[in-house]
Amino acid sequence: MVNKNTQIDLERITHICNQLASRTGDPASFSLLEEVKNITFPYIKEYEELEASRVLQILDFSRTLEAIVNVVFKVKKKEGQSFCYDLFEGKLAKDIGLTTALVKGKSLEELFTYEQAAFFRQKYALAFSGQTISYKHLYKGRYFETTLSPVEENGRVIEIIGSAVEVTSYEEAEQRLEHMASHDHLTNLPNRNRLQKDLRNSTSAGSPFTIIFCNLDRFKYVNDTMGHIAGDQVLLLVAERIQRSLSVKDQLYRLGGDEFVICLMGMHTQSEIVRLGKEILQNIRHPINLLGRQFFITASLGAAQCPKDGSSAARLLTSADVAMHFCKQNGRHNLLFYLPNMNKHYEKVITLEGDLRQALTQNELYLHYQPKVDVRTGYISGMEALVRWKHPEQGLISPAEFIPVAEETGLINQLDEWVLKEACRQNQEWIEQGYAPERMAVNVSANEIQRHDFTENVKQILVESRMDPQYLEIEVTENSVMRNTEQCLQTMQDLKSIGVSLSIDDFGTGYSSLSYLRQFPIHYLKIDRAFIKGVLTDPSDAEMVKAMIQLAEAFKLEVVAEGIEDQEVLDFLKENECAYYQGYHFSKPLPPHEMEKLLVKKQTYS
């Protein structure tokens, strides 16, 4: 076999032999020439064939590199533990201005900023230690996800192969969702989720601060007399007026409705806080001109200081809330500091807890059912079970009042189990009566979905009720799945494996992350009514809902829109190919005997 590095020049051999023959006139020289040709020709041919094959391989490799859409690169280690690129190819590589011709042999410091070079150096060092790693990074305003794979020879890493794909649109979408999860939709102020996170950070750091709970007085009157759109305008104006009084280091949050929280960082005396409170109240009370009318609005403020009034986020919020309610009960339009004797609020919670324990055993709880309707056909395609409580003395108690108490006192697991059992029992009863089988959705709490035995409990309930798992849908909120993602993922996979459907409730109002949409085995996304109500009046709401529907479609999920109250909104959903809806436009939550009438008709206003 000829060595590919051997240079065989037939013309030169012929020339030498001809020179030799002409000089000597010896015919043997010509014989020598023929002999040389006969000996060397096969090797020359083999060499040329090898060279041609090598050229074809190089061309094929070059075409492969040119066809790569993303980035592929090779990193070598030079002396002194420095790194350099040996290859940098792909269409994306050309797009960002990094090619083999440009980068080969150059150090990281020659190609990138100091911070970027340090970042890449640290990642490459890990890969050269034998680890396969993946990471995200920002370069020239664009996000990339890179994977590094070490290549070993004789037990040591000789180079690393890297591949990178651009994830800018994905990253920006996730950032938008994260912003939605941490900011109020109307005012764009940080919301309750962000407040709790910030308070946890501040209390953990031991930093002194003050929180002021702000609630508008008689705001319901504005909504009832002027409408919710006007009410939203008032909330925007109030937020702006509060901001005027705050310093750069202070932060305003909106918890929802007409509730705001102000966080004053650092040490403040009570006289300083009183002075600020008076300024805020005065700004809020300025005349408001809206819809051709002038009116005034006031607020009640409750203040709590860390660590004096509490050392945890939950305790501080409760203390400030108690002080604010005490202010409302004692004249309004004022600021009061929390005092321990204001704890009558907790007495109410304790009383309500005892009554709820009794309700769970005395048949005071019952379920209503709200239909889920197919936007395309107009027919019922399922229903959601909603718990109600009729107190023997106080009458109907709102779920918004007793469910937080159940969560706070640990009764929520018992409540969730009761709702699940009753919903499955009722649905199976309807199926056995001959009604078309429908999927029953039951919302479970964060505590319940994180229990290791939750799936086994569901199995047992299904056995007891004799209901097929395909007719059960478990709803969880975004915040629920993000508290303990590993356990929630396992539970949801187990539920899916037995045939139970899964949905994310209140999508867009909690901790949103595109990664969980890919990771969790969910079937439906339920868009919260907070986004739906403004689709006809607020272009940003309309675009947000469209984006959510498109996002769900990208992940092969179906969307359920909540809170549909008029035909125009339903038409919007049809136009944008939303799959299902719930709301008063079709039906309010109904007791079983009323729900049966709809199951008989199985038709809507569409």
pTM score of the predicted model:
0.52
Return the higher-pLDDT residue of 112 and 478.
Answer: 112
| pLDDT of 36 over the 80 cut | no
pLDDT at 44: 57
Contact 501, 521 (CB under 8 A): no
Instruction: List pLDDT tens digits, range 213-232.
Output: 999 987 877 876 678 888 99
pLDDT at 33: 53
| pLDDT of 513 over the 60 cut | no
Grade residue 180 by pLDDT with cuts at 50, 70 and 90. confident
Average pLDDT over residues 349-377: 92
Instruction: List pLDDT tens digits, range 155-168.
Output: 899 999 999 999 98
Grade residue 481 by pLDDT with cuts at 50, 70 and 90. confident
Instruction: List pLDDT tens digits, range 67-125.
Output: 576 889 999 988 766 899 988 988 888 888 888 888 988 889 889 999 999 999 999 99
Report the percentage of the chain scoring pLDDT > 90.
50
pLDDT at 65: 57
Grade residue 270 by pLDDT with cuts at 50, 70 and 90. very high
Return the higher-pLDDT residue of 570 and 516.
Answer: 570
Grade residue 169 by pLDDT with cuts at 50, 70 and 90. confident
Grade residue 13 by pLDDT with cuts at 50, 70 and 90. low
pLDDT at 511: 47
Name every residue whose Cβ is closer than 8 Å to that of residue 399 and which is 6 or more positions away in sequence: 386, 387, 388, 389
Average pLDDT over residues 584-595: 95
Instruction: List pLDDT tens digits, range 394-431.
Output: 999 999 889 878 886 779 999 999 999 999 999 999 99
Mean pLDDT computed over every residue of the chain = 85
Instruction: List pLDDT tens digits, range 378-396.
Output: 999 999 999 999 999 899 9
Segment holding 442, helix H or strand E: strand 440-443
Q: How many other CB atoms are found less than 10 A from the CB of residue 570?
A: 23
User: Counting beta carbons within 10 angstroms of the beta carbon of residue 214, is it exposed (0 to 12), middle (13 to 18) or buried (19 or more)?
Assistant: buried
Q: How far apart are CA 550 and CA 543, in angstroms?
A: 10
Query: Is 12 strand, coil or helix?
Result: helix
| pLDDT of 171 over the 50 cut | yes
Grade residue 54 by pLDDT with cuts at 50, 70 and 90. low
Name every residue whose Cβ is closer than 8 Å to that of residue 73 and which is 6 or more positions away in sequence: 85, 87, 88, 89, 93, 161, 162, 163, 164
pLDDT at 579: 96
pLDDT at 492: 93
For 556-595, give the DSSP string.
T-EEEE----SHHHHHHHHHTT--EE-STTT---B-HHHH
Q: How many other CB atoms are found less than 10 A from the CB of residue 307?
A: 14
Q: How far apart are CA 144 and CA 543, in angstroms?
A: 27
| pLDDT of 514 over the 70 cut | no
Side-chain-side CA neighbours of 571 within 13 Å: the count stands at: 4
Return the higher-pLDDT residue of 380 and 60.
Answer: 380
pLDDT at 4: 45
Average pLDDT over residues 206-214: 92
pLDDT at 290: 85
Q: CA dist 580 to 63, 83, 289, 591, Å?
A: 49, 55, 40, 21
| pLDDT of 238 over the 90 cut | yes
Average pLDDT over residues 583-606: 83
Q: How far apart are CA 120 and CA 135, in angstroms?
A: 10
pLDDT at 57: 56
Closest Cα partner for 38 from 17, 7, 21? 17
Highest mean pLDDT range out of 1-15, 26-40, 65-79, 249-263?
249-263
pLDDT at 46: 59
Grade residue 42 by pLDDT with cuts at 50, 70 and 90. low
Instruction: List pLDDT tens digits, range 129-150.
Output: 999 999 999 999 899 999 999 9
